[in-house]
Amino acid sequence: MFTQLDQIMTTMALMVSRQLYLTGSYSRAGATSMDTDPARGFEFGSSIVIRRPKIRGAAQDLNPRVAPATLNEQEWVEVNLSLNHAWADGFPAFNNDAQYATVVNDSLMAVSTNVGTSFEGMFYSECFRDYSGVAASGAVQYASAPPLQLVFSENSSGVLNAFTTEHLARANACLGAANVPAMDRFAFVSSFSAGDWAVAAPTAEGQSGALAGVGNIIQTGLQQGMFIPRAGFNFGVSNSITGQAAVASLGDGTATEAVSAYTADTTVFFDGDRAGGTVPLGAVRCTVGVTGTLTGLAVGQIARLGPDAGPATAYGVILRVDVGNKYVWLVPYNSKGQKLTAAQLSTSTDKFGVPAIPYVNTAHHREFLVYGTRPLRQPMPGAGGQVISQAIPEYGAATVNIAVGAYNAAGMKQDHLASVLCGCKPSDHRKAAFMLSA
């Protein structure tokens, strides 16, 4: 019989927390969940509002002899996070196992990986690929939403290249260009990738390129361009969006269509991070020259603008579709992640299409994700169970609950369960970039 149950539970919590930490999450929203009073803890379905300051622009070049400084009142972007997932995994260990401690120890990493990868699936799908929160009509202040910026690499025939260090360099430049306060930024690949990258080591499932020890990460933070070691990096097709399937016909049987007009959008999509909310986001309205009805398009698809048999001029995430007028709104980015204007797109050469994209990886700052957790209520005295709620500041202050109980006299078993209550929401679309690859 293993006698150090508390130690096992704490180890399990540490492992789960580490897995979440490696996901690149942070828990700014979860600060109050550290309260030990369960009445003040978060419940499933709770919502948390976080706010972050908008861009303030350049500081004034003040001449104190001439005029006083004009101070601007701060404005905020509000991020509403719902705790709508409670990931849990566990295992039974039987008291008549001769090597009880071995069974428990062998299962710890599996449990932590399972919780972590389930979390990742939600993270990728809901933080990066869910554009359903973008309003279907009216003006949009785009701020706390999935990313728009992207980088890609195509060969001379217009076919996406496999993942290379070029993607990483471009994505890092993209993130670096965002005018946001310096945080412990890092790029993190979240999805499968094919090809050689980072340290030119073949990777099958997005493994780390440059291994950084966890202890080192805690002490120094992860440097830009470094990648974190992963365990069990595995997105299932069923619960997340990884790549993208092509749209074979946009209405008249062809996959790409000429665009009759590229028009700068100044009335629909605005930069939600700019005080006043009147600065256009940089979206371009494409008038697709399809014969008949425009079909097959959906918000959230990644469209390609460019010649059929040559390198693309731009890619962009579709933000709105007007079937009646054959309009599609997107923010176009070139291969280096630079935002293009309508004038930089050519109606004579840049055709519109939604191609197959095998892999859509992400690079993002760590604060892109927020989640909150809470401790579990202790079981009633004499119930035969124990609960440890382990909050680990080094791992983003996640609270992982480990419960042992449900003692079954007939089977002589004890169930071990790890759970984490969480939600995720992108807090700033500029802090992430897609990397499109084959």
Asked if 126 touches other proteins (CB under 8 A), the answer is yes
Asked if 121 touches other proteins (CB under 8 A), the answer is yes
**Residue with Cβ nearer other proteins (47 or 95):** 47
> Which residues 6+ apart lie within 8 Å of 230 measured at CB?
22, 205, 206, 207, 208
10, 38, 101, 130: which one contacts other proteins (CB under 8 A)? 130
Q: Could you tell me the smallest distance in angstroms from the CB atom of residue 186 to other proteins?
A: 24
Asked if 80 touches other proteins (CB under 8 A), the answer is no
Residues 381/201, Cβ–Cβ less than 8 Å: no
Residues 319/330, Cβ–Cβ less than 8 Å: yes
Q: Could you tell me the smallest distance in angstroms from the CB atom of residue 52 to other proteins?
A: 23
| Bridging pattern class, strands 140-142 and 269-271 | parallel
299, 342, 387, 406: which one contacts other proteins (CB under 8 A)? 299
Region of 89-97, 126-134, 204-212, 335-343 interacting with other proteins (CB under 8 A): 126-134
55, 131, 173, 344: which one contacts other proteins (CB under 8 A)? 131
Query: Distance between the two ends of the chain, CA-based, in angstroms?
Result: 52
Question: How far is CA 407 from each of CA 181, 316, 378, rounded to the nearest angstrom?
Answer: 51, 55, 16
Binding mask 159-188 for other proteins (x = CB under 8 A): ------------------------------
Q: Which of 11, 10, 5 is nearest to 384 (CA)?
A: 5
Q: Which of 258, 428, 410, 278 is nearest to 346 (CA)?
A: 258
Rounded to 5 degrees, what are φ and ψ at 116? -65, -45
Asked if 326 touches other proteins (CB under 8 A), the answer is no
DSSP string, 419-437: EEEE----S-GGGEEEEEE
Question: How far is CA 161 from each of CA 8, 152, 199, 231, 352, rounded to the nearest angstrom?
Answer: 46, 8, 18, 26, 20
Asked if 263 touches other proteins (CB under 8 A), the answer is no
Interface with other proteins in residues 201-240 (CB under 8 A): 238-240
66, 136, 204, 309: which one contacts other proteins (CB under 8 A)? 136
229, 289, 300, 358: which one contacts other proteins (CB under 8 A)? 300
207, 301, 389, 437: which one contacts other proteins (CB under 8 A)? 301
Q: Could you tell me the smallest distance in angstroms from the CB atom of residue 265 to other proteins?
A: 16
Interface with other proteins in residues 357-396 (CB under 8 A): none
Q: Could you tell me the smallest distance in angstroms from the CB atom of residue 156 to other proteins?
A: 30
* 142 sits in which H/E element: strand 140-142
Residues 433/151, Cβ–Cβ less than 8 Å: yes
| Bridging pattern class, strands 413-422 and 201-202 | unpaired
18, 54, 129, 429: which one contacts other proteins (CB under 8 A)? 129
**If DSSP codes are grouped into helix, strand and coil, which group holds residue 359?**
strand
Cα three-residue angle 340-342-347, rounded to 5 degrees: 115
Cα three-residue angle 237-396-127, rounded to 5 degrees: 35
Asked if 304 touches other proteins (CB under 8 A), the answer is no
DSSP string, 237-267: TTTS--SB-----SSSS-SEE-EEEEEE--S
**Residue with Cβ nearer other proteins (60 or 239):** 239
Region of 22-30, 66-74, 128-136, 396-404 interacting with other proteins (CB under 8 A): 128-136
321, 331, 400, 438: which one contacts other proteins (CB under 8 A)? 321
284, 297, 376, 418: which one contacts other proteins (CB under 8 A)? 297
**Residue with Cβ nearer other proteins (70 or 238):** 238
Q: Could you tell me the smallest distance in angstroms from the CB atom of residue 130 to other proteins?
A: 5
Asked if 103 touches other proteins (CB under 8 A), the answer is no
Q: Could you tell me the smallest distance in angstroms from the CB atom of residue 257 to other proteins?
A: 17
Asked if 320 touches other proteins (CB under 8 A), the answer is yes
Secondary structure letter of residue 91 according to DSSP: E
**Cα gap 8→22, rounded to integer Å:** 21
Task: List residues binding other proteins (CB under 8 A).
Answer: 84-85, 121-122, 125-126, 129-132, 136-137, 238-241, 297-301, 320-321
